[in-house]
Amino acid sequence: MLKGRLEPLDDALEDLRISGSVLLHEAYAAPWAIAIPDESRLREMLGVDSDTRVLLFHFIRHGGFDMRIDGCDAVSIEAAEVAICPGGAAHTMSRGRGATATPIEAVLRGDGPVAPSGEGADATELVCGVFLARAAPLNPMLGALPSVVKVATGDASFSPMLAGVAWMLAHELDRGALGSFASARLLEMFCAEAIRAYQRTEGAQRTGWFRGLSDPRVSEAIRRVHEAPSKDWTVEALASTVALSPSRFAARFRELTGQSVMNYVARWRANVACRLLRDTDLNLTEIAGRVGYDSLPAFSRAFKAQLGEPPAAWRTARIKPGGHAVHTVPAGF
């Protein structure tokens, strides 16, 4: 079976190995307020390992709320919008005035913020959950996302796939099937399509990796690196694949992505190496060859430059005593 051409965004999404879980689905009448802890505390609550990124999301079916992160302006989230929080900062959700924020831990135990109520025009139907992204320390897409990603899910003309997935997810919510196989797959698609929709927004095109993907030649060069990290890439070799002179290509790449060509190559190779170190039994020399290094010392130096420790130490820290890589499953609520 032939494998289709994988674009950089698809590759980055696949690298994250996203899974999702809904923590809370209730309707609240104003005033109400819920306090969300930072990512490290969420990781403790869910029982996931330190290499798993926890991206909280809020999906509003009716009503709305204000999200407040310390030191930042409030963000208004309205009906049919989803907000994903890659920044991992603690924040407060609220509707109306005068309510004391209840920690989400207490809400999940059934202790607030007020008795759930779907009555009244001011009621907010709130779906809170998490997307778990596993072992992707240098994933370029994750690093390019802002602290809060907010996109509309109901505009089929802007993002038909996201609108369709949101509709199907709402159907699963209505029939109380959030633990089903279908709902788990829908949450994965919901995350991916929300990020695709964000890619098309003006904010995503201002700078960084998403802006680079909007340029056909830079995007093609990135695709080539992702497709064959073991190839002996140089600025000249990549420039030739996109029909630009090395100097013009290097300047264009840096202007759009904010980093040099060879730094991107090194970071992607290190990211692929992390996946191989954690998920396979390949030895270090084999991994070095798969990510473009002809010697173990060269691979170790390059890996340490990106991750702060050599590959052997990085792998050892992620192996359980029985000899298996750490793969924790989030605890249910």
Tell me the pLDDT tens digit for each residue of 78-107.
Answer: 999 999 999 999 999 999 998 999 999 999
Which of 174, 204, 234 corresponds to the end of one domain?
A: 204
- Angstrom distance (rounded) from CA 290 to CA 231: 9
Residue 197 shares a structural domain with residue 117: yes
pLDDT computed for residue 1 by the predictor: 39
- Angstrom distance (rounded) from CA 311 to CA 294: 15
pTM exceeding 0.85: yes
Residue 198 shares a structural domain with residue 293: no
pLDDT over 90 at 135, yes or no: no
Largest CA distance in the chain: 67
Rounded to the nearest angstrom, the gap between the alpha carbon of residue 316 and the centroid of all alpha carbons in its chain is 25
DSSP class of residue 147? S
Query: Closest Cα partner for 16 from 129, 139, 130?
Result: 139
- Angstrom distance (rounded) from CA 290 to CA 283: 11
What's the mean pLDDT in 294-322? 91
How confident is the model over 154-184, as pLDDT tens digits? 988 889 999 999 999 988 888 876 677 888 8
The domain that contains 114 carries what CATH number? 2.60.120
- Angstrom distance (rounded) from CA 298 to CA 192: 35
Mean pLDDT of the residues in the chain: 89
Domain count, the chain: 2
- Angstrom distance (rounded) from CA 127 to CA 101: 17
Residue 282, domain member (yes or no):
yes
pLDDT computed for residue 113 by the predictor: 65
Residue 181 shares a structural domain with residue 294: no
Residue 327, domain member (yes or no):
no
Query: Closest Cα partner for 270 from 290, 252, 285, 242?
Result: 290
pLDDT computed for residue 5 by the predictor: 66
Residue 70, domain member (yes or no):
yes
What's the mean pLDDT in 208-233? 96
pLDDT computed for residue 203 by the predictor: 84
pLDDT computed for residue 118 by the predictor: 56
Residue 187 shares a structural domain with residue 295: no
Residue 66 shares a structural domain with residue 199: yes
Question: Can you list the alpha helix ranges (DSSP code H) found in the chain?
Answer: 8-16, 39-46, 104-108, 140-144, 160-174, 181-199, 209-213, 216-227, 235-241, 246-257, 261-279, 284-290, 296-307, 311-316
pLDDT computed for residue 324 by the predictor: 45
pLDDT computed for residue 293 by the predictor: 97
List Cα–Cα distances, 285 to 68, 200, 228, 266, 281, in angstroms: 48, 40, 17, 17, 12
The domain that contains 246 carries what CATH number? 1.10.10.60
pLDDT over 60 at 326, yes or no: no
Residue 247 shares a structural domain with residue 307: yes
Residue 44, domain member (yes or no):
yes
Residue 17, domain member (yes or no):
yes
Split at pLDDT 50, 70, 90, the class of 136 is: low
- Angstrom distance (rounded) from CA 177 to CA 14: 25
Question: Which residue's entry shows tokens 């009503």?
Answer: 63
Task: For residue 249, give its domain range.
Answer: 215-316
The 19-28 sheet, strands edge to edge: 19-28, 124-134, 52-62, 81-85, 149-152
